């Protein structure tokens, strides 16, 4: 029997540190600053970070979501108050609608500005710290409030499913990786060992039916953030987080 609690403790500790740093990092993940940058023809910090998220997902899938993202950390904290799995599958589609509208607006602004001409990583963040003025503190509270409100109202990491503007970059990167079957982090399962206890499904922070994924031999899921919680609670050591090629 394997109960890898240490890996999960380290993961959650890193997420909490990231959450504490969110007042510093917020603008580098901002969906607004990239829009403003596009309107001025400036490649800003969040533009670069989103591009890096796409590139990193070719090997790491959505591990950013499970190990680093401060908004993901908020979702994990809210599980202490509401740990109900998400039932509404349409929420996963909602973020794509938001993402296409947002991306289209960025493209329109950039085109209207005559294209990108300058790179300024610290655009609207001249001090390097995102929350350095009262107005920015209000914006910070609104962002935190939205992610916490959704998670408390709807359940586990609801904001990740419904409104996240970063997730589509990583989902697309993962799809590209799968097409080429490049070596990458992914889940593997030995379905013959499964005793259908459903602990994996009960513990999945993304509310996935992991037991079903195991029994159907289909461990790839665009909403899986590769947190390995399913692997670490499985009493029969059925699931493993591995780095290998495949689909």
Using CA atoms, how far residue 49 sits from 52, 131, 153, 170, 245, in Å, is: 5, 18, 29, 12, 26
The values of phi and psi at residue 120, to 5°, are -140, 95
Point out which span in 17-25, 36-44, 174-182, 234-242 binds ligand SF4 (CB under 6 A). Answer: 234-242
Interface residue with ligand SF4, options 33, 38, 143, 239 (CB under 6 A): 239
Choices 116-124, 130-138, 174-182, 220-228 (CB under 6 A): range interacting with ligand SF4: 220-228
Q: Quick one: which of 166, 171, 173, 177 contacts ligand SF4 (CB under 6 A)?
A: 166
Site for ligand SF4 contains 211 (CB under 6 A): yes
- Cβ contact 238:190 at 8 Å: yes
Q: Is 90 exposed, middle or buried (0-12, 13-18, 19+ CB in 10 A)?
A: exposed
* Candidate residues 93, 127, 196, 244; the one interacting with ligand SF4 per rule CB under 6 A: 196
CA distance 233 to 199: 7
Q: Does 148 bind ligand SF4 (CB under 6 A)?
A: no
Find the binder of ligand SF4 among 34, 38, 65, 184 (CB under 6 A). Answer: 65
Pairing, β 184-189 against β 239-244: antiparallel
Q: How far is CA 137 from CA 100, 147, 152, in A?
A: 28, 16, 22
Q: Is 204 exposed, middle or buried (0-12, 13-18, 19+ CB in 10 A)?
A: buried
Q: Which residue is nearest to ligand SF4 (CB)?
A: 72
The residue among 1 and 135 lying less far from ligand SF4, judged by its C-beta, is 1
140-144-145-147 Cα dihedral, nearest 10 degrees: 140
Nearer Cβ to ligand SF4 (123/225): 225
Does position 129 interact with ligand SF4 (CB under 6 A)? The reply is: no
- Interface residue with ligand SF4 among 71, 150, 158, 184 (CB under 6 A) is 71
Which residues contact ligand SF4 (rule: CB under 6 A)? 65, 69, 71-72, 159-160, 164, 166-167, 187, 194-200, 204-206, 208, 210-211, 214, 224-230, 234-236, 238-239
């Amino acid at each position: 029997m394997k109960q890898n609690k240490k890996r999960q403790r380290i993961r959650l500790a890193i997420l909490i540190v990231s959450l504490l740093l969110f007042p510093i990092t917020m603008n580098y993940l901002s969906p607004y600053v990239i829009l403003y940058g596009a309107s001025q023809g400036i490649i800003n910090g969040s533009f670069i970070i989103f591009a890096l998220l796409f590139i990193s997902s070719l090997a790491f899938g959505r591990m950013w979501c499970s190990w680093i993202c401060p908004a993901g950390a908020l979702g994990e904290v809210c599980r202490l108050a509401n740990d109900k799995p998400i039932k509404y599958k349409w929420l996963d589609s909602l973020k794509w609608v938001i993402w296409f509208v947002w991306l289209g607006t960025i493209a329109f602004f950039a085109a209207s500005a005559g294209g990108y001409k300058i790179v300024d990583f610290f655009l609207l963040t001249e001090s390097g710290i995102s929350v350095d003025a009262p107005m920015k503190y209000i914006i910070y509270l609104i962002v935190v409030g939205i992610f916490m409100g959704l998670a408390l109202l709807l359940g586990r990491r609801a904001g990740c499913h419904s409104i996240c503007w970063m997730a589509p970059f990583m989902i697309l990167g993962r799809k590209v990786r799968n097409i080429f079957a490049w070596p990458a982090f992914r889940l593997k399962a030995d379905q013959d060992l499964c005793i259908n206890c459903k602990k994996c499904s009960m513990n999945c922070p993304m509310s996935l039916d992991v037991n079903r994924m195991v029994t159907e031999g289909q461990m790839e899921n665009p909403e899986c953030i590769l947190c390995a919680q399913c692997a670490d609670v499985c009493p029969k050591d059925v699931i493993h987080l591995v780095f290998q090629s495949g689909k």
